[in-house]
Structure 1
């Protein structure tokens, strides 16, 4: 069985990490729905003391799409393009975590898990080399004088 950290498997591993981030984010949101204050805020058109506007809803939808695209594109794009996508989007997603900062202990827990996950996605994408660069490393190694 190949290692989940081999260049051939990294796309699958990163895709699973995006899914893990998505599920943690969704569960954090669902988890908040049992708090009476959250329900009152939603009914008043507020979230964390901020008005819920169409642009805020669009920004949230856009962020969710980036997460979903991360999961999909990590598996479907060529390695070079998937690597670039993950190197750009994982830090943006991490920054997005602070748009609605944690307000209580469980939010801090979920935010930490998601931030570590985005860090892992970025680190693995950084490690992920394209097949061409791997071939070039072998070629240069073979040409080295003995």
Structure 2
């Protein structure tokens, strides 16, 4: 269940950015080496690559790691992923929509990591075979 929510979160991030390419002037802004008022540098591109690798890495790690290692790692990774979403405040309705979906996915991941309602439902359904 945890890996499914990481996929949900990652897919929302990806499709939000793909959708942005359809916005008028978006590609021109990036081609001019600027994004959200910041200059696009090789260091910024590296940082973006590292940050997007966090949810990507958590998909297999959530299936492979033991719970005692997974819980703290999950909390740190959700915080990192969420902190990177907030500075790019919604500019239009679709930005807000994707941000809400990403925050809901992060909340679901935290809930499972702490054994909340989603976590107990997943454990119960595994135990009963439903």
TM bracket (short chain):
0.7 to 0.9
Q: Deviations over 1:61-114 (max 9, x none)?
A: 111110111111100111211122112211221111123222211011101100
- TM-score, L = length of structure 1: 0.75
Matched, 1:125 2:113: yes
Distance in 2 (CA, whole Å) between partners of 1:73 and 1:43 is: 35
Distance 1:100 1:23, change over 3 A: same
Aligned positions, number: 116
SS in 2 for 1:36: coil
SS in 1 for 2:43: helix
Distance in 1 (CA, whole Å) between partners of 2:89 and 2:38 is: 12
Distance in 2 (CA, whole Å) between partners of 1:24 and 1:15 is: 14
What displacement does 1:14 show?
0.8
SS in 2 for 1:103: coil
Distance in 1 (CA, whole Å) between partners of 2:87 and 2:44 is: 10
Residue in 2 aligned with 1:15?
3
Matched, 1:78 2:62: no
Residue in 1 aligned with 2:87?
99
Residue in 1 aligned with 2:47?
59
Structure 2: where are the runs of 5+ without partners?
A: 117-130
Q: Let me know the Cα RMSD of the aligned residues.
A: 1.3
Residue in 2 aligned with 1:36?
24
What displacement does 1:27 show?
0.3
- TM-score, L = length of structure 2: 0.83
**Off by >6 Å, runs of 4+ in structure 1:** none
Larger radius of gyration: 1
